[in-house]
């Protein structure tokens, strides 16, 4: 075939080897489970998918003997996973033999030798695939699912539905609605809950009710649990569970209705194992001396500045790579250069791949456990508790949660301040606590855990909590809001006042937390790390602060845009979508420009106006422009820009002093062509558009890059 | 700006192969994702002129993704090419019924891919 001439075989080799290794791991686990009784069908499906990928790969890259063997194996595994043939020891032996054969074949490709054929094995596998299960019972029908649903399932998914019925399980449809921005976090948490109850078969996305930026999913699963048990177990806001009616209902007297078949139970337990909760670090004593000695000998301490240097170099390499890509453009236009340009492009892609591996490698090196800062806080709690003459116990969990070193460093001050606040304002004196019927010793919980691609840190005390109506009164007294307007405010809005500089409901500051560092500084610090803070409080029972942070700040994906011929980057994780808008679609409500988007009003922010960018002559009269819809929590704002230039991974660089004070700018970065551009601070822009829509005009001129 | 193509495929090497064909073929920028969920997230963010997706994927499969795209106002008319290793597999038929524009069976050559691309992109190309 023509397409593999000149294609480097290293890409093929590395991926094919990975696939064979993962196939081999699946087989080993499958074998172990099979010997114990029953196996997890997901494992067999994973084995099928591995070989399916290998077949696609090897056929595209012209490795015929590998393609032939994987083709035969794919059919055999398809029959196995569809239950047409049983997973016998003989079948497993053949599968294991094929692992060895693939490895020999790949070694030959690597050495540039002729790939050996494996005709004998091939014949045996083909014979296996032709076996049909004897006396297979007629499969149960899926009467409760309409054709529209059945039509989008793969054959395997349909088989798993029937198989769950055959094992005496019920089928459920779990309906969930997710915010598109939080979909990975939401699905991961729901998936784990569902897996504890049975087999999750497929996820059907639907657009009909997905207003704006939400997505609806119908998840089909099989489970031994009753509707009530499942609802209690996976139920959360926006999640509905419904049982799918099946023919089995009528046929029930034939089988035992409530006691699940033993095979079903084994399979369920098998699946439960990987989702067992991780052991809490909370109560662990000092680690074994032997262990720590060994870890010392395997660790190298590196100065952060050296890693930063490497990180910058990688960023520059990325920029260089992007420049190479653009220098390829003119080459492509020249006649007779197709081959050269193709080769060039192939190498560039391979370089791109290696660059991102390098980038990931450095990011991994930068990750450190939060325990480093938690230990410091434990000491602080002891010291401050003594100073304030209060008895406080600190409970730590999730100290092994990892974050970028830089973030961990930056967290120690805000966390310290929050702990001070807990001790000073939250925890009551011992006697007051006893009078209120609480234990005399106050408790502060410091928890960290990973949630999707973010890390959440919670600081919770069991102290007096915050009386939000009192905060509201103080806000009125301080002139932050007028009396009438304050009555419209609910608890979340009112709690936001504690982040206003200098805000306190106390008349005098104490030595513990009255040191001029308020919650406003905490919020600024967390925002600088692209984090968010949520507060939950209950008078008399305590307060919980939850900080949500990205795992790393060093590299982000950004949307590169242009406004008034100046280029900016917008972090892609806050971009919901980009649309094209006609000037005529814009309306003005109370002096603010808005558009209607799928029935909702979306406020617009003009980047050129925010940063007071001068436009060239004739540039103003554009009939159509792009609107980038960005979101923060529940708020949505459309940023009006002139051009969308594309997406890019960017390395964030700290801002110089001149720009640090400019709201709306989060950092600087380099893009292709070696230009330095500014990264927009979406949270600030959204926040300003909500609170003070008119203030944007007096933005300082320095923001013009 | 280059036309955006969404490529949904879990094999790195296949993404590379299809990605290079597209980038060499014209002014295309390829957004590569590994699975159906990432595809769902990528769709509203941009205006794609073409979606190329594997059929056999865990969680959200290529048929489900096709149906979803056909329901979404923003991309309902976008050409969708589904990739499978077996043209006769029932899953391919289902993807076509769900609204896929064309399918390609692996292995396919650059020429075959380009012919399919031309077929799905020419009839009613929409200017955005």
User: Can the peptide bond before residue B107 be classed as cis, meaning omega within 30 degrees of 0?
Assistant: yes
Cα separation values, B93 from A356, B75, B76, B96, Å: 37, 21, 19, 5
Interchain proximity B46–A646, CB inside 8 Å: no
Q: Is A218 on the interface with B (CB under 8 A)?
A: no
Q: Is A351 on the interface with B (CB under 8 A)?
A: no
Strands A566-571, A555-563: parallel, antiparallel or unpaired by DSSP?
antiparallel
Stronger pLDDT, B57 or A556, i.e. the higher one: B57
What per-residue confidence (pLDDT) applies to A656? Answer: 59
Residue A412 CB neighbours (<10 A): 16
- Which candidate, A148, A99, A94, A139, places its Cα nearest to that of A121? A94
Residues of B in contact with A187 (CB under 8 A): 37
For residue A574, pLDDT beyond 50: yes
Nearest CA in chain B to A46: B58
Stronger pLDDT, A528 or A14, i.e. the higher one: A14
DSSP A550-563: ES-SSEEEEEEEEE
Secondary structure class of A643 (helix, strand, coil) = strand
Assign A645 a pLDDT band (cuts: 50, 70, 90).
confident
ipTM confidence score: 0.84
Nearest CA in chain B to A341: B24
How far apart are alpha carbons A443 and A392 in whole angstroms? 6
Interchain proximity B37–A187, CB inside 8 Å: yes
What per-residue confidence (pLDDT) applies to A483? Answer: 84
| Superfamily (CATH H level) for A556-703 | CheA-289, Domain 4 (2.40.50.180)
What per-residue confidence (pLDDT) applies to A102? Answer: 93
Distance from CA of B123 to the nearest CA of A (A): 24
Residues of B in contact with A559 (CB under 8 A): 45
- Token pair 């003989």: residue: A90
Secondary structure class of A234 (helix, strand, coil) = helix
For residue A253, pLDDT beyond 70: no
Residue A402 pairs in a beta bridge with: A369
Instruction: List the beta strands (DSSP E) in A389-428.
Output: 392-397, 402-404
Joined tokens for residue A123: 């014949």
What per-residue confidence (pLDDT) applies to A5? Answer: 38
- Token pair 């080459």: residue: A331
Q: Are B80 and B36 in contact (CB under 8 A)?
A: no
How far apart are alpha carbons A674 and A686 in whole angstroms? 29
Nearest CA in chain B to A53: B11
Average pLDDT (A301-321) is 79
For residue A280, pLDDT beyond 50: no
Q: Which of B61, B85, B110 sits opposite A154 (nearest CB)?
A: B61
Residues of B in contact with A578 (CB under 8 A): 45-47
Average pLDDT (A488-510) is 70
What per-residue confidence (pLDDT) applies to A302? Answer: 76
How far apart are alpha carbons A105 and A110 in whole angstroms? 9
Cα separation values, A343 from A3, A177, A229, A293, Å: 11, 45, 58, 50
Q: Which of B61, B74, B110 sits opposite A3 (nearest CB)?
A: B110
For residue A293, pLDDT beyond 50: no
Joined tokens for residue A135: 């006396």
How is chain A split into domains, by residue range?
Answer: 9-130, 147-275, 304-368, 370-550, 556-703
Residues 178-197 on A with a CB inside 8 Å of B are 180, 183-184, 187
Query: For residue range A79-111, what is the model confidence (pLDDT) as tens digits?
Result: 899 888 888 888 888 998 999 899 999 988 888
Q: Which of A2, A15, A71 sits opposite B13 (nearest CB)?
A: A15
Joined tokens for residue B68: 């979803």
- Which candidate, A569, A570, A556, places its Cα nearest to that of A649? A556
Joined tokens for residue A15: 């991926």
Secondary structure class of A568 (helix, strand, coil) = strand
Joined tokens for residue A615: 């436009």
Stronger pLDDT, A295 or A233, i.e. the higher one: A233
3-state secondary structure A360-392: HHHHHHHEEECHHHHHHHHHHHHHHHHHHCCCE
Nearest CA in chain A to B43: A577
Most B-contacting residue of A11, A205, A559 (CB-CB within 10 A), to test interface:
A205
What per-residue confidence (pLDDT) applies to A490? Answer: 79
- Which candidate, A662, A491, A499, places its Cα nearest to that of A568? A662
Residue A543's Cβ-count burial label (10 Å; 0-12, 13-18, 19+) is buried
How far apart are alpha carbons A401 and A412 in whole angstroms? 15
Residue A450's Cβ-count burial label (10 Å; 0-12, 13-18, 19+) is middle
How is chain B split into domains, by residue range?
Answer: 3-121
Joined tokens for residue A569: 């980057």
Which residues are CB-contacts of A676 (< 8 A; sequence separation ≥ 6)?
Answer: A653, A668, A669, A670, A705
Joined tokens for residue A357: 């591996």
* Strand order through the sheet with A592-597: A575-582, A624-632, A635-641, A600-606, A592-597, A587-589
What per-residue confidence (pLDDT) applies to B65? Answer: 94
Q: Is A454 on the interface with B (CB under 8 A)?
A: no
What per-residue confidence (pLDDT) applies to B66? Answer: 95
Residues of A in contact with B64 (CB under 8 A): 152-153, 202-205
What per-residue confidence (pLDDT) applies to A69? Answer: 93
Stronger pLDDT, A550 or A78, i.e. the higher one: A78
Residue A673's Cβ-count burial label (10 Å; 0-12, 13-18, 19+) is exposed
For residue A256, pLDDT beyond 60: no
Q: Helix crossing, A304-333 with A405-421: angle to 10°?
A: 130
Q: Are A171 and A220 in contact (CB under 8 A)?
A: yes
CA–CA–CA angle A703, A551, A291 (5° rounding): 145
Per mean pLDDT, which range of A7-11, A31-35, A67-71 is the poorest? A7-11
Q: Is A147 on the interface with B (CB under 8 A)?
A: no
Q: Is A572 on the interface with B (CB under 8 A)?
A: yes
Q: Helix crossing, A89-110 with A9-36: angle to 10°?
A: 160
Joined tokens for residue A487: 């009555």
Distance from CA of B101 to the nearest CA of A (A): 15
Q: Helix crossing, A64-81 with A119-130: angle to 10°?
A: 20
- What fold characterizes domain A370-550? Heat Shock Protein 90 (3.30.565)
- Note the pTM of the prediction, 2 decimals: 0.58
What per-residue confidence (pLDDT) applies to A699? Answer: 41
Instruction: List the beta strands (DSSP E) in B1-128.
Output: 3-8, 28-33, 48-54, 80-84, 102-105
Residues of B in contact with A646 (CB under 8 A): 1-2, 29
Distance from CA of B63 to the nearest CA of A (A): 5
Average pLDDT (A228-241) is 83
Q: Report the mean per-residue pLDDT for chain A.
A: 77
Nearest CA in chain B to A7: B17
- CA A237 to chain CA centroid, nearest Å: 20
Q: Are B51 and B8 in contact (CB under 8 A)?
A: yes
Joined tokens for residue A212: 């704006």
Q: Which of A53, A346, A644 sits opposite B20 (nearest CB)?
A: A346
Nearest CA in chain B to A2: B109
- Which candidate, A672, A687, A670, A558, places its Cα nearest to that of A631? A687
| Superfamily (CATH H level) for A147-275 | ACT-like. Chain A, domain 2 (3.30.70.1150)
Residues recorded for chain A: 705
- What fold characterizes domain A9-130? 1.20.120
Q: Is A341 on the interface with B (CB under 8 A)?
A: yes
- Token pair 């006769």: residue: B88
Distance from CA of A228 to the nearest CA of B (A): 25
Which residues are CB-contacts of B32 (< 8 A; sequence separation ≥ 6)?
Answer: B7, B9, B15, B19
Q: What is the DSSP letter of A589?
A: E
* Strand order through the sheet with B3-8: B28-33, B3-8, B48-54, B80-84, B102-105
Q: Is A60 on the interface with B (CB under 8 A)?
A: yes
CATH number of B3-121: 3.40.50.2300
The dihedrals phi and psi of A477, each to the nearest 5 degrees, come to -60, -40
What per-residue confidence (pLDDT) applies to A284? Answer: 41
- CA A333 to chain CA centroid, nearest Å: 40
Which residues are CB-contacts of A77 (< 8 A; sequence separation ≥ 6)?
Answer: A44, A47, A48, A51, A95
Residue A442 pairs in a beta bridge with: A392
Joined tokens for residue A452: 């999707």
Most B-contacting residue of A14, A76, A77, A152 (CB-CB within 10 A), to test interface:
A152
For residue B62, pLDDT beyond 90: yes
Which of A531-539's residues contact partners 24+ apart within 8 Å by CB, and which partners?
A532/A633, A532/A683, A533/A499, A535/A466, A535/A492, A535/A495, A535/A498, A537/A465, A537/A466, A537/A468, A537/A495, A538/A465, A539/A464, A539/A465, A539/A466, A539/A467
For residue A247, pLDDT beyond 90: no
Average pLDDT (B85-93) is 84
What per-residue confidence (pLDDT) applies to A692? Answer: 52
The dihedrals phi and psi of A345, each to the nearest 5 degrees, come to -65, -40
Distance from CA of A646 to the nearest CA of B (A): 7
């Amino acid at each position: 075939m023509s397409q593999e001439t000149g294609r480097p075989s290293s890409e093929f080799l590395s991926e094919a080897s990975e696939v064979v290794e993962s196939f081999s791991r699946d087989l080993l686990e499958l074998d172990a489970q099979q010997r114990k009784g029953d196996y997890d069908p997901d494992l067999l499906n994973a084995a099928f998918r591995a070989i399916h990928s290998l077949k696609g790969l090897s056929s595209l890259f012209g490795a015929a003997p590998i393609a032939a063997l994987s083709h035969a194996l794919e059919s055999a595994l398809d029959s196995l996973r569809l239950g047409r043939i049983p997973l016998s020891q003989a079948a497993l032996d053949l599968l294991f033999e094929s692992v060895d054969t693939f490895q020999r074949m790949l070694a030959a490709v690597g050495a540039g030798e002729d790939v050996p054929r494996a005709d004998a094995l091939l014949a045996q596998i083909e014979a296996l695939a032709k076996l049909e299960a004897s006396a297979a019972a007629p499969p149960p029908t899926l009467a409760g699912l309409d054709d529209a649903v059945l039509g989008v399932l793969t054959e395997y998914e349909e088989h798993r539905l029937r198989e769950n019925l055959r094992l005496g399980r019920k089928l459920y449809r779990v309906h969930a609605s997710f915010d598109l921005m939080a979909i990975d976090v939401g699905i991961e948490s729901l998936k784990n809950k569902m897996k504890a109850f049975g087999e999750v078969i497929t996820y059907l996305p639907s657009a009909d009710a997905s207003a704006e930026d939400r997505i609806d999913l119908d998840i089909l699963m099989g489970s031994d649990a009753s509707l009530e048990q499942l609802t209690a177990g996976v139920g959360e806001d926006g999640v509905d569970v419904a049982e799918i009616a099946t023919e089995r209902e009528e046929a029930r007297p034939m089988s035992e209705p409530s006691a699940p078949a033993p095979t079903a139970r084994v399979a369920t337990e098998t699946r439960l194992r990987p989702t067992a909760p991780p052991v809490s670090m909370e109560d662990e004593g000092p680690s074994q001396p032997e262990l720590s000695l060994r870890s010392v000998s395997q660790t190298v301490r590196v100065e952060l500045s050296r890693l930063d240097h490497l990180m910058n170099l990688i960023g520059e390499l990325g920029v260089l790579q992007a420049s190479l890509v653009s220098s390829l453009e003119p080459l492509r236009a020249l006649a007779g250069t197709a081959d050269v340009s193709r080769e060039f492009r192939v190498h560039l892609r391979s370089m791109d791949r290696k660059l991102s591996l390098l980038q990931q490698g450095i990011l991994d090196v930068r990750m450190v456990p939060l325990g480093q800062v938690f230990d410091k806080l434990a000491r602080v709690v002891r010291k401050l508790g003594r100073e304030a003459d209060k008895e406080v116990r600190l409970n730590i969990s999730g100290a092994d949660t990892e974050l970028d070193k830089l973030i961990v460093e930056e967290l120690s001050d805000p966390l310290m301040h929050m702990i001070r606040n807990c001790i000073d304002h939250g925890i009551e004196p011992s006697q007051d606590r006893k009078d209120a019927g609480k234990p005399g010793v106050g408790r502060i919980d410091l928890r960290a855990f990973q949630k999707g691609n973010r890390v959440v840190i919670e600081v919770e005390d069991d102290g007096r909590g915050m009386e939000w109506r009192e905060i509201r009164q103080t806000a009125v007294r301080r002139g932050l809001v007028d009396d009438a307007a304050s009555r419209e405010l609910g608890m979340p809005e009112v709690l936001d006042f504690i982040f206003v500089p200098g805000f306190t409901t106390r008349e005098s500051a104490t030595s513990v937390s009255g040191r001029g560092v308020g919650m406003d500084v905490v919020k600024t610090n967390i925002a600088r790390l692209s984090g968010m803070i949520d507060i939950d409080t209950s008078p008399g029972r305590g307060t919980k602060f939850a900080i949500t942070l990205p795992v790393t700040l060093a590299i982000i994906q950004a949307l590169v845009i242009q406004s008034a011929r100046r280029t900016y980057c917008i972090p892609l994780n806050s971009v919901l979508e980009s649309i094209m808008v006609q000037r005529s679609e814009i309306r003005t409500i109370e002096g603010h420009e808005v558009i209607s988007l799928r029935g909702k009003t979306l406020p617009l922010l003009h980047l050129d106006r925010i940063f007071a960018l001068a436009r060239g002559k004739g540039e103003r009269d554009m009939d159509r422009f792009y609107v980038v819809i960005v979101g923060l929590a529940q708020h949505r704002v459309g940023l009006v820009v002139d051009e969308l230039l594309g997406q890019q991974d960017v390395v964030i660089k700290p801002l110089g002093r001149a720009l640090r004070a400019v709201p709306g700018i989060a950092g600087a970065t380099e893009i292709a062509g070696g230009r330095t551009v500014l990264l927009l601070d979406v949270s600030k822009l959204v926040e300003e558009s909500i609170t003070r829509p008119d203030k944007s005009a007096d933005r300082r001129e320095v923001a013009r890059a | 700006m280059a036309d955006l193509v969404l490529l949904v495929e879990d094999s790195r090497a296949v993404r590379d192969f299809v990605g290079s064909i597209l980038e060499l073929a014209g002014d295309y920028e390829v957004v590569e994702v590994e699975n159906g969920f990432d595809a769902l997230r990528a769709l509203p963010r941009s205006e794609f002129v073409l979606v190329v997706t594997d059929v056999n994927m865990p969680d959200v499969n290529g048929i489900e993704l096709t149906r979803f795209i056909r329901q979404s106002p923003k991309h309902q008319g976008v050409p969708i090419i589904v990739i499978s290793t077996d043209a006769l597999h029932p899953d391919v038929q289902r993807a076509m019924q769900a609204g896929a524009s064309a399918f390609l069976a692996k292995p396919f050559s650059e020429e075959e891919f380009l012919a399919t691309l031309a077929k799905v992109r020419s009839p009613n190309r929409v200017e955005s």
